[in-house]
Amino acid sequence: MGHQLHVGIVGGSIAGCSAAILLERAGHRVTVFERSAQGLVGRGGGIGTTAEVVDSLVADDLVDADFARVAIGGLAFTAGRSAADRLGVCPWQMPMDFRAFHWNTLWHNLRKRVPDACYRRGHEVTGIVSHDSTGTTLRLADGSEHDFDLALFADGYQSLGRATLFPDAGLAYRGYLLWRGLLPESEMDDPDPVENRIVRLSYLGMPGDLVVYFVPSQSGSIKKGERLFNWAAYVPLPESELPAFMVDKLGRPRTGAIPPGRMRIESEHRLKAMMAEQLPAYFSDIIGRTRDTYVQLIYNVDLPAYARGRVALIGDAGMVVQPFTGSGVFKGMNNVRDLLTAMAEAESLDAALSRWSVDQVRRGRRLLALAAQMEQALIWNRLDFTTADAATTAAWWRAAVTWPEEFSLEKR
């Protein structure tokens, strides 16, 4: 098929902007509906990928050549012998060529490549009026309806599109949350123990782990002393305790996440006290100093398909995978690249969507299987790094996680 399509994209975050850029460059007309009227700058924390992937993003003009990132050369598996132990022990550091950056920086680089005329901020899609082989009609909160040849839902893990197409595919809570924070490097006593590496630190007496690394400052500085220290703690929490925990400081129940600055003081203090008991002093002290921490619950979702009629799902609107694989931030980009390939090879859009959907389900389920392996290795069945040597730790990691070679872009 070679004719131009008018594509409606629901969601203007990283997946939605990626889709708009790739589709527009392929000759299609796009309209992006982003429900936030204030813009998305200020959201998210540290993320990263391999140097190879960043280089490909630059080469494809998806990010600027001077895109701010911090170079990281290793992944250190670490554990403390007691809370009084300052740094813990690291039996093995896996070499890696990694680049860490800030969510805001990636989104800003993508957003500025989407023409303003295509990006409609403050426009919330509230429903799908119709979707069949002739097109899709979307309804907005203001009551207006808009017709498209194809609608892509890039509206995240609580996707309206997924709920409409597959109402039985609910979010499955994995039994733990991700508690995150950013501390200015200037407020750290000693940055050297985490310089040029990611540290994965297991707790003393419970499942889960802490991930720490540097990212550029909000302004993009990577100078020593000006960066941000990014930490993310995986903390078990029984599902029965979620209703009591997921209440913000104004007393409002929250679903899925509590954003920065909205956690109850008592909840934050309880988590910080837990970390003081579970982590070596260097790391618990950094967490204790961090302000405006935030929480997201960890879910996954399997799906029977990625498209029905002329509606398709991309990014976390499709299958939701635990964050260990690092696939989330680039998943939507991969989905659209695959869709464009299918459209170029098929005789019709419907045939392309059918083939593409089958392929995305296959890839999504392989990612789910990989995430399950990593979840077991990193959360529930950690090796005791305080007694393991380098050879034992390296062998444990190779046996615990089998990474499909096809996931070149996700392999981060």
Give residue 404's pLDDT.
Answer: 60
* Residue 377 CB neighbour total at 10 angstroms: 18
Tell me how far apart the alpha carbons of residues 98 and 196 are, in angstroms, rounded to a whole number. Answer: 9
The model's pLDDT over 381-408, given as tens digits with 9 standing for 90+, comes to 999 999 999 999 999 999 888 766 554 3
Tell me how far apart the alpha carbons of residues 131 and 350 are, in angstroms, rounded to a whole number. Answer: 12
- Within 41-113, strands assigned E span 46-50, 70-79, 89-102
Phi-psi domain of 226 (left: phi exceeds 0; alpha: psi -120 through 50; beta: other): alpha
Assigned fold of 6-37+122-170+302-381: FAD/NAD(P)-binding domain (3.50.50)
Give residue 410's pLDDT.
Answer: 37
Give residue 130's pLDDT.
Answer: 87
Tell me how far apart the alpha carbons of residues 74 and 53 are, in angstroms, rounded to a whole number. Answer: 17
Closest CA to 153 of 43, 304, 19, 41: 19
Closest CA to 34 of 110, 114, 119, 103: 119
Asked whether 335 and 318 are in contact (CB, 8 A), the reply is yes
- Which residue's entry shows tokens 């808009």? 146
Give residue 310's pLDDT.
Answer: 96
Q: What is the DSSP letter of 223?
A: S
Tell me how far apart the alpha carbons of residues 238 and 255 are, in angstroms, rounded to a whole number. Answer: 15
Closest CA to 150 of 244, 49, 47, 10: 10
Question: Tell me: domain 48-103+172-299, CATH 3.30.9.60, correct?
Answer: yes
The residue ranges of every structural domain in the chain are: 6-37+122-170+302-381, 48-103+172-299
Tell me how far apart the alpha carbons of residues 299 and 177 are, in angstroms, rounded to a whole number. Answer: 9
Give residue 327's pLDDT.
Answer: 72
Chunked into runs of 10 residues, the chain (412 residues) has average pLDDT values of 89 96 97 88 76 94 96 96 89 95 93 96 96 92 97 97 97 97 95 95 95 94 95 97 97 95 96 96 96 96 97 97 83 95 95 97 95 94 94 93 56 35
Give residue 2's pLDDT.
Answer: 65
Residues making up the chain, counted from first to last:
412
With DSSP H G I counted as helix, E B as strand and the rest as coil, what are the percentages for the chain, rounded to 5? 35, 30, 35
The model's pLDDT over 325-379, given as tens digits with 9 standing for 90+, comes to 877 678 999 999 999 999 999 999 999 999 999 999 999 999 999 999 999 999 9
3-state secondary structure of 334: helix
Q: Which one-letter amino acid corresponds to residue 86? A: R
Tell me how far apart the alpha carbons of residues 69 and 389 are, in angstroms, rounded to a whole number. Answer: 32
- What strand order describes the sheet that includes 311-313? 119-121, 29-34, 6-10, 150-153, 311-313, 307-308
Tell me how far apart the alpha carbons of residues 3 and 321 are, in angstroms, rounded to a whole number. Answer: 34
Give residue 83's pLDDT.
Answer: 78
The first and second tokens of residue 364, run together, are 């999504």
3-state secondary structure of 72: strand
Tell me how far apart the alpha carbons of residues 229 and 213 are, in angstroms, rounded to a whole number. Answer: 6
